[in-house]
Amino acid sequence: MREVALIVAGKRFTYWKSVTVTASLESACRTFQLGIKFPLTDTGRLPHIPAGAECVVTLGDQRILTGYAEIPEVSYDVGSLTQNVSGRSRSCDLVDSSGSGEQLKGVTLAQLAPLIAKQYGTDAIVDPTIIAEGKTLKHVHVKSTDKAYAAIEKPARLAGAVLCDDASGVLRIFRPKQSHPVGKLIVGVNVIAGQVKFDATQVFARYVCKGQLDPNITAPTGGYLGGVDDPVLGARIWRKLHITAESGADSDRCEYRAKWEAASRLAKAITASYTVSSWTNDNGKVWEPGQTVIVDDPIGGISETMLVSEVTFTCASDQAERTVLGLANPDTYDVITPIKRKKGSNTTGKHWAELDKGAK
């Protein structure tokens, strides 16, 4: 196993026997837990790590987390002493802390995110593809009764982006997309364990979307409707989901919105996880959420490129490296794209109304 180091105030602690570090597309801050067990007579080896101390965690020669050692813990019995340290990346203060109460007008997401993040000891970087869209948020209220993170999360989610931190503790806001695969997961070759799950609890047989009445569209009484049937649960025709379009929509837009809902829910229903014997991918870099891998799993029935949604680094009882990769269908993070309005419509159809209104 490569050396795992916890660096606090310039000191390196490298004797850890249990290791768990997790990073996910669904979490704005990474977590870690490190542990070691001593004979009770070796209390002199016990390091002093203050609660809340700034720290860096490295796997081998690569940094994997920058943050705080939040919970140092010592436990002991008649024959042994155990030292555990757990913590999160420095974006945790942004996630935990109350908002400032300030109100902002006419800012973009690329301006808003770092402006708020820097007040809580970190930074935020918005992907250039989102910046290029140039959408302005008319009004943002960083509520003191809510977490500061919420003021960034809502407009980011509405823009179809995920929010997760990197190894430096900086919040990254981007849309996961197909990229060059960083490795292959082949059952029977480099996969130690695997699990494939299809969760149909949030999948429906029919999706019906109703358009909100838009004063700029001449709509029939009751508004517009659009629907789509899902072949997976098609026999259970009574299992329906009714949704409302997030902005004024005609029948074409309602049908598109229903199709997107069906595709998104089906993609989210299929998840997989695989355990491999290295902390690094085929390029020699540590695994990261947002990367893609080629999966060849005849047992689970998967033979395609999938997105890494979560990474957990651990070590086995024999101190061998292990990485558990949570995988998702790339369509899980697909974003609703604009469609052309029918000729004669007075609305542009470029974005959902919430993006114009901003996070309130």
Other Cβ atoms within 10 Å of 84 Cβ, number? 16
Query: Which residues in the chain come in under a pLDDT of 50?
Result: 216-221, 338-360
Cα gap 311→19, rounded to integer Å:
13
Mean predicted lDDT score pLDDT of the chain: 85
Cα gap 268→53, rounded to integer Å:
38
What was the pLDDT predicted at 135? 81
Q: Which amino acid is at 99?
A: G
What was the pLDDT predicted at 249? 60
Closest CA to 187 of 247, 274, 109, 103: 274
Tokens 């402006």 locate to 115
What was the pLDDT predicted at 352? 33
> Where do the domains of the chain lie, and which CATH numbers do they carry?
4-89 (2.30.300.10), 94-174 (3.55.50.10), 184-198+270-333 (2.30.300.10), 200-268 (3.30.1920.10)
Task: Please say whether the beta carbons of 298 and 220 come within 8 A.
Answer: no
What backbone torsions phi and psi does residue 271 show, to the nearest 5 degrees?
-130, 155
What was the pLDDT predicted at 333? 76
Tokens 């029948």 locate to 251
The sheet carrying 162-165 orders its strands as 124-126, 171-174, 162-165
pTM of the entire predicted model: 0.81
What was the pLDDT predicted at 210? 84
Closest CA to 176 of 2, 343, 334, 336: 334
What was the pLDDT predicted at 223? 55
Q: How would you write the chain as a 3-class SS string?
A: CCCEEEEECCEEECCCCEEEEEEECCCCCCEEEEEEEEEHHHHHHCCCCCCCEEEEEEECCEEEEEEEEEEEEEEECCCEEEEEEEEEECCHHHHHCECCCCEECCEEHHHHHHHHHHHHCCCEEECHHHHCCCCEECCEECCCCCEHHHHHHHHHHHCCCEEEECCCCCEEEECCCCCCCCCEEEECCCECEEEEEECHHHCCCEEEEEEECCCCCCCCCCCCEEEEECHHHCCCCCCEEEEEEEEECCHHHHHHHHHHHHHHHHHHHEEEEEEECCCECCCCCECCCCCEEEEEECCCCEEEEEEEEEEEEEECCCCCEEEEEEEECHHHHCCCCCCCCCCCCCCCCCCCHHHHHCCC
- How many Å is the Cα radius of gyration of the chain? 24
What was the pLDDT predicted at 24? 96
What was the pLDDT predicted at 41? 74
% of residues, the chain, pLDDT over 70: 86
Task: Please say whether the beta carbons of 332 and 263 come within 8 A.
Answer: no
